[in-house]
Each structure stands twice: as C-alpha cells, then as structure tokens.
Amino acid sequence: MNDTASPKTFLPYGRQQIDAEDEQAVLDVLRGDWLTTGPAVDAYEEAFADRVGAQHAVACSSGTAGLHMAAIAIGLDFGDVVVVPSVTFLATANAVRYVNADVLFADVDPETGLVGAEQIARAIAGLSEGTVKAIFPVHLTGHTVDIASLRSAFPHLAMVEDACHALGGEYDAGKGMVPVGSCPLGGITMFSTHPVKTIATGEGGVLTTNSQVLANRLRWARNHGMVREPERFQNRVMGFENGEAAPWYYEMHLPGYNYRLSDVNAALGLSQLRKLDRFVARRRALRQRYAERIDALGPHVAMQKVAQGCNPAWHLAVALIDFAALGTTRTAVMNALRDRGIGTQVHYIPVHRQPYYAKRYGPLNLPGADAYYARCLSLPLFPAMEESDVDRVVDELADVLKL
C-alpha cells in the first residue's frame, strides 16, 4: 500500500494513516471471540500507560466521553466552577456542563493559543475562595501548557489536561522533560484517538492517571457505574453465598454511562501505538518545513509561535495570517485553496463566543483568544505527506495571498 500523498491529490488538513499491519490487527479481532470490551482493550490500555509513563490508562469511546468521565471522577457537581481556555473544541467546556458545574472561560496567549497561570489568575480574580474547583488546560495543536507553573500557582485545584492534540509530546514538569500523559503533578490527562489525531482508533479516547482512586472512578463512569470486585461490594448479603462471591453479582455505586471502547477499536489503536514515534517524527519534520517556508513570506504571515518548555508532537500546522492587512478574508483564502486541492480548517472558534455560553455567562473580553482566532489557519499535516506537499501548500497560499 502506498500511503504517500501525490502532488495532484487533495490534501485535507489531517487524516489517518492505516497500513496492512493495522488491517490485520482488526481482522484478528473480528475472527476471534471478543468484539466488545475484552483482552484487546486490556492490552491497549497497558501499552498506552507504559508508552506515556503513567500508572493507569483507561480507554473510552471518544475524547468527549473521556472529558465527561474525568469530570465525574474528580467529583464536579452543582455550584462548582471550572476554568477552561476559550480557544479549544466545544467538548472541553461541554463536559463541565454535563455534570452541572459552570465554566469560567480564561483568555490565552495570542501567539501560542495556550492558557497560562496569568490568564487563569485574571479569570478567577474576585471569586470567593473555594468556588473554583478545577482547571481544564488544553495542549493546543501539539505544544503544551506550562503545567508546572499551573500546579505551583493553583496547588489546591483539581486538574484535567485536555491533551487531544499532544500524544507523543513532552513538557518540562519542573525537574526535566516528561511525556504528556505521565501526570507527574497529579490529576488526569485525556487523549483523543479520532482519525485526524496522532494515532487513530476510529473514534476513541484514553485517560491516564497515577491515582488508583481516580482510575477506579473513571472505569465506573465508563461502564454504567458497575462494580464487580467482591472486595468493594456494599451489600454483603446479596454479593456472597456461604462466604463465596456470587459470580454473577455486580453493584452500582454511582450512575455511569456506556462509554466503553470495543476490542475492534482497541486492536487498531494498539497497532497504531507501535508507530507513534514514527508518526511524531514525521509530523515534526513536516512542521519544521512549514516554519522554514511560511516565516519567509513576510510580516503578515507566520507560523504559530512554539511555547517554551515543551517538545511538541504536532497535531496541527497553524499559520497566523493578518488577513485584513493583506486585503483579503479567511473565507476567500480557504475557498481559493480548496479549489486548488488544499483543505484547511480553523481551530478554534473561541467557545465563549458560542451562543449558548454567551447567553449563559454574558459578554466576555478575552482579547488574546479573539486575536488568535482572527488569524489562525490550520494547514495540511499528516504523516503520509512529503516535503513537496508542504511546498505545494505554501506556494499556493502565497499565490492566493498575492505575496
């Protein structure tokens, strides 16, 4: 199978790369005894935890499901407030609302799109102590939030890292570089394995943590709140017969959901995980090529600034373009590039601008988020691309922008 993108093919902003090994892994499950959650999920979770250096990994049906599970696991409820950067996908904020907590939107750096301790401090200024319960920082496009500074500034707050874009990356945890997902400073990290992400399971997500308590809660939330371990049974009469655990018995200690991942998806994920280092290296090389070419286009076009203290595993290649200064609009540029066989996207519309949240919390002044959004454009980036594909994208972009 030739996965190399031809110069004449349409280049989407992102896509999965599937090979014969991946196909065989899925076929092996289809021909086996398990289709739903079974031994392939166990193997995938074990390999994932080992890869990122965490004690526990919990696979689930999507990144959104993972965020919801994390919100449940840390105990969010009515009256709680969670700080979420406005530049993210809807799911980061929506997961907070799923558990009836409230979102407090924070601004971001206009060049990196990342939230920092300064922006969070501004967001929570004036709130009474104890109102804010958690932070959901977002590792945007592949580079990472300064988690060490957040933990130092807000040691009392629970933390759920939205790392949908950051699998394979590293950040400085204060005592050297660590893999994203290793959770050296506590909390939970959530990854997405949607097809455009670094590895794909079709749909899917994975959460990592070093807390046995949080891992147990995540698994309960994933599977209807069911508990099957005899040592955790609360009804000892129903759970045991003559001192033996009843083999059919289970209990529900909290309401949960059907957020399980199937063995079919997990088999694909395990196969993809073996290629993670290769995928990340290719993404880094392509993104570097973009930086070399884009930054030479003039003062009104630049690649997204790389945050300090991290070694990104690039999910997206984002150019920041001053469309107004160039006498055009983003819509015109995207449409012109599409007509030339190049797909682009915008990541993301600031969530505080969405009608639901604007009505709920009123108008917010987040100039960093608005400035980043006004200029960002995600260009094609996926491992099957060649440097010539990057050159094609940049040449066409320059032509459309009349540079």
Residue 3 pLDDT class (50, 70, 90 cuts): low
Q: What percent of the chain has pLDDT over 70?
A: 98
Asked if pLDDT for residue 29 goes beyond 70, the answer is yes
Q: Are 268 and 25 in contact (CB under 8 A)?
A: yes
Q: What is the pLDDT of residues 205-217, one digit of tens each?
A: 999 999 999 999 9
Alpha helices in 192-346 (DSSP H): 212-222, 236-239, 263-273, 276-294, 330-339
Q: What is the pLDDT of residues 116-135, one digit of tens each?
A: 999 999 999 988 888 999 99
Q: Are 326 and 377 in contact (CB under 8 A)?
A: no
Asked if pLDDT for residue 1 goes beyond 80, the answer is no
Identified catalytic residue from 133, 175, 197, 305: 197
Q: pTM for this structure?
A: 0.95
pLDDT number for residue 5? 53
CB-neighbour burial class of residue 185 (10 A; exposed 0-12, middle 13-18, buried 19+): middle
- The mean pLDDT of 250-277, rounded to a whole number, is 96
In the chain the first and final C-alpha atoms are separated, in Å, by 38
Please tell me the distance from the alpha carbon of residue 265 to that of residue 29, in angstroms, as a whole number.
Answer: 9
In angstroms, the Cα distances linking 198 to 160, 183, 276, 280 are 20, 19, 7, 7
Please tell me the distance from the alpha carbon of residue 270 to that of residue 199, in angstroms, as a whole number.
Answer: 9
Q: What is the pLDDT of residues 340-352, one digit of tens each?
A: 999 999 999 999 9
Of the two residues 7 and 76, the one the predictor is more confident about is 76
Element (H or E) spanning 147, and its range? helix 147-153
Strands 317-321, 376-379: pairing is antiparallel
Q: What is the pLDDT of residues 268-296, one digit of tens each?
A: 999 999 999 999 999 999 999 999 999 89
Asked if pLDDT for residue 4 goes beyond 70, the answer is no
Please tell me the distance from the alpha carbon of residue 254 to that of residue 218, in angstroms, as a whole number.
Answer: 11
Please tell me the distance from the alpha carbon of residue 208 to that of residue 52, in angstroms, as a whole number.
Answer: 8
If you ran DSSP here, which 8-state letter would residue 292 be given? H
Q: What is the pLDDT of residues 94-119, one digit of tens each?
A: 999 999 999 999 999 999 999 999 99
Q: Where are the beta strands (DSSP E) in 61-176?
A: 81-85, 102-106, 132-135, 158-162, 170-172
Residue 197: active-site member: yes
Domains of the chain: 20-273 (3.40.640.10), 276-400 (3.90.1150.10)
| Cα 190–Cα 265–Cα 316 angle in degrees, nearest 5 | 50
Please tell me the distance from the alpha carbon of residue 366 to that of residue 119, in angstroms, as a whole number.
Answer: 9
Asked if pLDDT for residue 2 goes beyond 60, the answer is no
Q: Are 52 and 171 in contact (CB under 8 A)?
A: no
Residue 386 pLDDT class (50, 70, 90 cuts): very high
* Closest C-alpha to 330, from 347, 353, 351: 347
* Closest C-alpha to 83, from 66, 70, 102: 102
Q: Are 348 and 89 in contact (CB under 8 A)?
A: yes
Q: What percent of the chain has pLDDT over 90?
A: 94
pLDDT number for residue 254? 84
- The mean pLDDT of 6-15, rounded to a whole number, is 84
For residue 151, what are the contacts with CB-CB under 8 A and spacing of at least 6?
Answer: 159, 185, 186
